[in-house]
Structures are given as C-alpha cells and as structure tokens.
A and B are shown apart, each in its own frame.
Chain A
Amino acid sequence: MTAAHEHAVRARAEVQHAAFAGSRVAGEVLDARGRLLDAVAHHVEVAIGPVRVATWTAIRPVPPRTPTADPVPQAVVSWISTLRTAAHVSHEHVPDSSGSRDVHAAVVDLRAARELVRAASDLIATHRGLDGALLPGAPFPLAATDLGGLVTRAIDVAGAIASNEPWALRAREAGVPRRELDRALPLDSPLRVHTQALSRLLGDLASTIDTITVARPAIDTTDPAIEWRLRTDRIRARIEHHAANGRVSARTLHDIASLTLVVHHVLTTNHPHDAAHAVMVPSAAARLVAHLAPLRSAHPADPTIRADVLRLLDLAHPSTTPDTGDRVRILRAIEASVPTVDSAQLTATRLAATLTDAWVPARRLPGYLRSPHPPGRAVQPAPAFSPANSDGVDHARHPTLT
C-alpha cells in the first residue's frame, strides 16, 4: 500500500504539471482514477471484513447515537459508500476513451497503484473463508477490532487523488464538455471531505498491516529451519481450521500425535537433562496414538498435514542433516516450534474426545446378506477417548507386550 500511495501521489503531480492531449486522453485518466478509487473501497472492505462492513451498514440508521458509540465504524461505512459513488459516476459519465493513442503518464501510475491495491486485497483475502469470516490463525491486525491502522494506509492512497478539482480543470482544458464534467467530477463531491474527516478521526496511526503475509505461504525448502517453522505453522492452522469446521479424520489426529512424539523424542534425546520439555503433551500424544491404533477412519487424512508430517519426520531425523551446523539450526527450529506443535496436539486431543468418525472393521458378511456398507466394513460408534485419563493407557484394549 505504501508503493500504491507513491504511485497515486505521482499521478496527481503529473496531472498538475501536464495537460491532457484531448478528451479521449482525459477520459482514460478519469477512468483509471475511478478504478483506483473502487479498488481502494474494495480493499477496505476486504481488510475490515465483508461481514463486519455489512453489519455496520445494517445498523447505521439506528438513532440516536449514544455519546459512547465509536464514530469510526460509521465514518468508515460512509467513506466506503462515497468511494464507490465517486468510482461509479466517474465510470458512468467519463468521456469515451476508445481509440486514444496517447497515454498520459498519470494513467500508468494510476493503473500501477490499482494493481498494487488489488494485490494487497488478494493477500488479505487469503486469511478469510468463503463466508468472509477470518480463518483460524489470522494475524492480529486483521482479527483486532481496532481498525485504524488498517484504514489509514487506504486513506493515504485515496487521499492523494480525492480532490476533484485538478482532474476537472485538466479535463475541461482538454475539451470535455462542462455538463459531462459536472456529472463525472462534481465539485460538491463529499469524497475529499469524508476522506479528511476519517483521517482526522483516526489520526496518524502506526500500523502493522504491512507485515501481514499471505495466509498460506509457499513452503521455502531452501533452509530446513525455515521449512520446519512454515510446515509446523501450517499444520497448526489446518488442524484449527478442522476444529472450527467440526470435522477431522482420525487419521489426521494420528498424524499430529506422531509429529508430537517425534518432536519430543528428538528434543529429549538431544537435551536429556533438560526438564523443560513438557510431560503432559507427549503423554497425551502417546495415549492418542494408542487409542487410535486399532481404529480406522471413514474419512481420508488431510493430505497437506500428512505430507507436512512426512517431510518434518524426514527433517527431524539426524541422517537428513549430517552437517553439524545444519543439525544445530534444525534442532533450534524444532525447539522453537514446541509451542506450535503442542498447540496442534492439544487441539487434536480435544477433537479426539468428540470424534465420531472412527470405526472398526467387521467380519465379511456372507454373500446372501446385503450390507449398506462396503464389504468388510461396518460403521460403529467410536470408543470414547478421555484426554485426562490419568492412567495413560487403556490396558484393557492395549495390554502391554511383556
């Protein structure tokens, strides 16, 4: 958004310093400006969240406003509406630009700014589900209700081109009829006023929005330590996503428990005297593995989690990183990932307690009996899993091999 702001400022300067070469060029510039304003409106909606914006819009007419009510949501809704209106009238009444041979420098910058704003919107959209709600594990600036930092970046972009006057003067100079200009760029447009009002309301807020990365970054495989962190982060995000949706396969729970056991095994064998490694979480993982061992899930495993666990097991094994320096780095990465892995394990343990898709196979039915299930399968209620089983292991079903 910072780069988009620079392009917008440059476009405004170019309009102030260079005339439009005819009404078609003017139409092209005004069209690009309208599209940028529309992109900014879309960006703010995506950043705040379509669901939240819809809620604010729905409650806007309720009077009277109480003194304690936060004025920012209403101001944001008004500003988005003004942006959309400005973009719409600009698009509807802008002069025809088809066949224009000259390209004004401002057009290039406006289009570049629009692309950057749209890219930022797409990046943020990766943190949202189909219903517009944030996915589990979304960054704090998106999840927080304090939206100042999110909106100020967009205000910077729109504020650079909000005033209609310079654009209208250049367009009139290029021969665009006054009647068309009054409709496309009305001098009484509230866009500049609303932008300034919202900017004053929010102040110059510091924002961490620029640090947000895409929700599902590509895994960087060039550095094992970074790869380890990215994959463990992805596993935790996915299991939390499954928890939010309420559906997870017993196979996936087994994968998570296997990863927990390996992580704590590696740390224990490399730091045998360090008692800081938690006891409860790997014990819960061992119980979960034992609980799931004789069961079979009707649902396939999450392929991403399974592939990640497979790769992490490969990375964690000493034979993968024979170099001492690399081994030290991967061990540090494994140690740093313990909270992430434990969090995923706790989620998996919680899910196992409510698991309903685990089942055990039945004997094959004789040919003359028909089963609603595939041969050799019979859906049965999953045995109850108690995460707080203090005995550790169910000896009745898993007697120790002695």
Chain B
Amino acid sequence: MNPGNPPLTSTPSVTVAGYLAALDAQITTRRSISDRAWAWAFVTHALAVAEITDTALQDRSEVDGTEGRASGPGSTAAVWVSPHMSWAMDDLVDAGVRTTSPDLPSVDISSRPDVIAGALRRLIITADLTDESAPPLLREAVRAAGRRAVLAHEAYAGPLP
C-alpha cells in the first residue's frame, strides 16, 4: 500500500494555485523522477481518500436525519481516483521507490476537486519526463503511473485540456 502517514498540517487555507505551489516546492526538490511521481500519486490518493471518507460521514449524518439522503455513501467521483493512485504507488514501490511522503497543507473542501485534478496533471507531466539513469523497471512504473493518472483524470475531471 502507501508508505507514510499523511501528516496533514493545520496551516491556513490557501488558494488552489497556492496549495499546488506549496506542494510543488516540496516535491520538485526530490532528485529522481520516480520519487516525484510517487509523491504526486501520494498527494492525489490522500486527497481522494479524504473526499471519500468525508462523503461517507456526510451521508451517514443525512441518513440519520429526517430529510433522507440525496446521494449515497461514496458518491463522489474520487472513487475513480483512489484505486488508480494506489496501484500507481504500489507499482512504484515494487520497482524500488523509497521516499518520504510530503506534508499536506489544509485545503478548503470546495477547492479539493480542483486540487485533485491539478495534482493529477502534475503527475502526468512528471511521468512524461524520462530518467535515462533509472532502471527499466522503474522507468516503466513511472510511465504506468502517468497512464493511470490519465485514466483517473478522465474519470474524475473529464478529458485532459
């Protein structure tokens, strides 16, 4: 599964661009492309899981109430993202990636879909880069992570711009 606990810090809310810039600052300092790919997959996965669990809690409270439920548990498109990112991390770890998880700043719930889509696009861009010094297995895992990110983006946020 996914190495590292998501140390979600309680910094003040920022804009989507500022949030992604903060993550960029953490992740682009990593030396290898595979480490960066893993970090973006980790970020995306953590955000998707947070959205899934939030939705589950929200729906539970609605079921307990008298108004009924407008949408069922897990009824967030993040359910398409979580497995692909989990599999991408598995592939990268199995190929030899050993890196620490980035710190995740707080983000407003309404901004979270944009952040997830943005993180997916950054993973796709990162996976497009080629590290000639990396072993073939690792290079293939990075490319596979990029393909998974494309699938997740199409399912979550539509076709790539």
Point out residues on A near B: beta carbons under 8 Å: 250-251, 254-255, 258, 260-262, 264-265, 267-269, 272, 275, 277, 279, 282-283, 285-287, 289-290, 292-297, 300-301, 306, 309-310, 313, 317, 319, 358, 360-361, 364, 375-376, 392-393, 397-402
Q: Which of B2, B72, B104 contacts A264 (CB 8 A)?
A: B72
Contact B1 A283 (CB under 8 A): no
Task: Please tell me which stretch of B22-30, B53-61, B120-128, B133-141 contacts chain A, meaning at least 4 of its Cβ atoms lie within 8 angstroms of it.
Answer: B53-61
Known: A258-B82, A376-B98. A361 touches B4 (CB 8 A): yes
Contact A292 B54 (CB under 8 A): no
Contact B79 A265 (CB under 8 A): yes
Q: Which residues of B contact A306 (CB under 8 A)?
A: 87
Contact A265 B98 (CB under 8 A): no
Contact A265 B74 (CB under 8 A): yes
Known: A264-B74, A277-B72, A301-B90. A364 touches B4 (CB 8 A): no
Contact B1 A251 (CB under 8 A): yes
Known: A313-B83, A393-B53. A254 touches B107 (CB 8 A): no
A401 to B74, CA, bound (A): 16
| Most chain A beta-carbon contacts within 10 A, residue among B50, B72, B90 | B72
Known: A265-B76, A392-B56, A398-B53. A294 touches B86 (CB 8 A): no
Closest chain A residue to B3, Cβ basis = A361
Q: Which of B86, B98, B109, B155 contacts A317 (CB 8 A)?
A: B155
Smallest CB separation, A344 vs chain B (Å)? 15
Contact B56 A286 (CB under 8 A): yes
Contact B56 A294 (CB under 8 A): no
Smallest CB separation, B137 vs chain A (Å)? 14
Contact B5 A360 (CB under 8 A): yes
A-B contact pairs, 20 of them (CB 8 A): A251-B86, A258-B86, A262-B80, A264-B74, A265-B76, A272-B70, A275-B68, A282-B56, A292-B1, A293-B6, A294-B1, A313-B80, A317-B80, A361-B3, A364-B98, A376-B3, A399-B8, A400-B53, A401-B50, A402-B108
Given contacts A282-B74, A392-B57, 12 further A-B contacts (CB under 8 A): A261-B79, A264-B73, A268-B71, A282-B56, A293-B45, A294-B4, A317-B155, A361-B3, A376-B98, A392-B53, A400-B54, A401-B106
Known: A293-B49, A294-B2, A401-B104. A286 touches B83 (CB 8 A): no
Q: Which residues of B contact A399 (CB under 8 A)?
A: 8
Smallest CB separation, B16 vs chain A (Å)? 13
B93 is an interface residue with CB less than 8 A from chain A: yes
Q: Which of B45, B60, B154 contacts A283 (CB 8 A)?
A: B60
Known: A293-B1, A300-B94, A360-B3. A264 touches B80 (CB 8 A): no
B52 is an interface residue with CB less than 8 A from chain A: yes
A313 to B155, CA, bound (A): 10
Smallest CB separation, B113 vs chain A (Å)? 12
| Most chain A beta-carbon contacts within 10 A, residue among B3, B46, B109 | B3
A268 to B72, CA, bound (A): 6
Contact B74 A272 (CB under 8 A): no
Smallest CB separation, B48 vs chain A (Å)? 9
Contact B72 A267 (CB under 8 A): yes
B145 is an interface residue with CB less than 8 A from chain A: no
Q: Which residues of A contact B45 (CB under 8 A)?
A: 293
Closest chain B residue to A300, Cβ basis = B94
Q: Which of A260, A292, A375 contacts B98 (CB 8 A)?
A: A375
Q: Which residues of B contact A393 (CB under 8 A)?
A: 53, 56-57
Contact B53 A264 (CB under 8 A): no
Known: A294-B2, A294-B5. A398 touches B50 (CB 8 A): yes
Closest chain B residue to A277, Cβ basis = B72
A2 to B6, CA, bound (A): 62
Smallest CB separation, B45 vs chain A (Å)? 7
Q: Which residues of A contact B5 (CB under 8 A)?
A: 294, 360, 397
Known: A268-B75, A402-B109. A279 touches B59 (CB 8 A): yes
Known: A293-B46, A376-B98, A401-B8. A285 touches B112 (CB 8 A): no
A261 to B5, CA, bound (A): 22
Q: Which residues of A contact B79 (CB under 8 A)?
A: 258, 261-262, 265
Contact B109 A296 (CB under 8 A): no
A283 to B74, CA, bound (A): 7
